[in-house]
Amino acid sequence: MGPTAIGKSAVARQIKKNFSIIELLSVDSKSIYKGLDIGTDKPLQRDLQSNIYRLVNILKPQEIYSSADFYRDAVREIEDILKLGKIPLLVGGTMFYFKTLLNGFSDLPPSNSVIRNYIFNKICSGEKQKLFDILKKVDKISSERIHINDVQRVLRAVEIFFVSGGLSKSKLIKSIPNKLPYKIFQFGLVPFKKDILYTRIVKRFYYMLECGFEQEVRNLYKNKSLNISLPSINSIGYRQMWLYIQNKYSYQEMIDSTIKSTYQLVKRQLTWLNNWTDITLIPDNKIDILMKKIQNIVRYNLSK
């Protein structure tokens, strides 16, 4: 795991190339969506065609996908990989997905896109402040744990309150988690120098623009079933380009806002990693150390 633009995918591809027993599983809340390719820095199409990554391109962009959905899908894929006699390597930067997978999840009511859309677009008029104010009233504990800008999780917490008949997410979440019955090795790639990572983020986004990111979002914009409140579109880069297409941002404002939001995401991801337990943090200029540790894990598995 690691922050965006740290080079996780490149390292994962190299590990896969070196050790055929490895199978890759994506832990990314945006790569799950079809049509979100350039802006998510998704693995190349030739890699996807060879089934090198699992849990990529599994949903339409108008669909809702919760951490509980990820848990179920990831467990299914892990079990399938193990049945093949291989080792699953989970790669991504969606820390909440990793946390859910490691700690399990409560028996919460399933998500309902109709109810979610009604809450956000009708009750809250598409305004995240109104949505967050509701959360503070119905579930104060969750409002202290979830940032106002994390609209997907705020909306999910409010939805749970309505669907469960007045029970808050914070109360329901106390049920016993379902922990995975496997030996798990955790590695986190962290920047040797943050300035280098930030420079890489800027260069990467300009490269995305050169590769046709604007046209990708314009194609999504033509889809009448999509709107900016959906988790797929309300993600970094896509949201800003969507607002640019709507003439609510200038081109430069779109670029500046995307880069600033990516910086903020990296800071949150690094905070998660620094507070993580049972993890080996490896600077991104010491990839050889990670390779050796992976090699030892593979050798141990083959010797059993």
Give the pLDDT confidence of 193-234 residue by residue, as tens digits.
999 999 999 999 999 999 999 999 999 999 999 999 888 999
Q: What class does CATH assign to 8-105+177-303?
A: alpha beta
Task: Give the per-residue pLDDT at 107.
Answer: 65
The full set of domain ranges for the chain reads: 8-105+177-303, 113-172
Q: Cα-flanking dihedrals φ and ψ of residue 198, to 5°?
A: -65, -40
Task: Give the per-residue pLDDT at 84.
Answer: 95
Contacts of 176 (CB under 8 A, 6+ apart): 104
> What is the pTM (predicted TM-score) of this model?
0.79
Task: Give the per-residue pLDDT at 49.
Answer: 59
Task: Give the per-residue pLDDT at 176.
Answer: 46
Per residue of the chain (304 residues), give pLDDT as tens: 999 999 999 999 999 999 999 999 999 999 999 999 999 998 766 565 555 789 999 999 998 887 878 988 999 999 999 999 999 999 999 999 999 899 876 667 777 778 888 898 889 998 999 999 999 999 998 898 888 988 888 999 999 888 877 777 777 765 545 678 899 999 999 999 999 999 999 999 999 999 999 999 999 999 999 999 888 999 999 999 999 999 999 999 999 999 999 999 999 999 999 999 999 999 999 999 999 999 998 888 777 6
* Sequential DSSP letters for the chain: ---TTSSHHHHHHHHHHH-TTEEEEEE-TTTTBTT--TTTTPPPHHHHHTT-EESSS-B-TTS---HHHHHHHHHHHHHHHHHTT-EEEEEES-HHHHHHHHH----PPPP-HHHHHIIIIIISTT-HHHHHHHHHHH-HHHHHHS-TT-HHHHHHHHHHHHHTTS--HHHHTTSPP----S----EEEE-SSHHHHHHHHHHHHHHHHHTTHHHHHHHHHT-TT--TTSTTTTSTTHHHHHHHHTTSS-HHHHHHHHHHHHHHHHHHHHHHHHT-SS-EEEETT-HHHHHHHHHHHHHHHHH-
CATH node for 113-172: 1.10.20.140
Give the pLDDT confidence of 264-285 residue by residue, as tens digits.
999 999 999 999 999 999 999 9
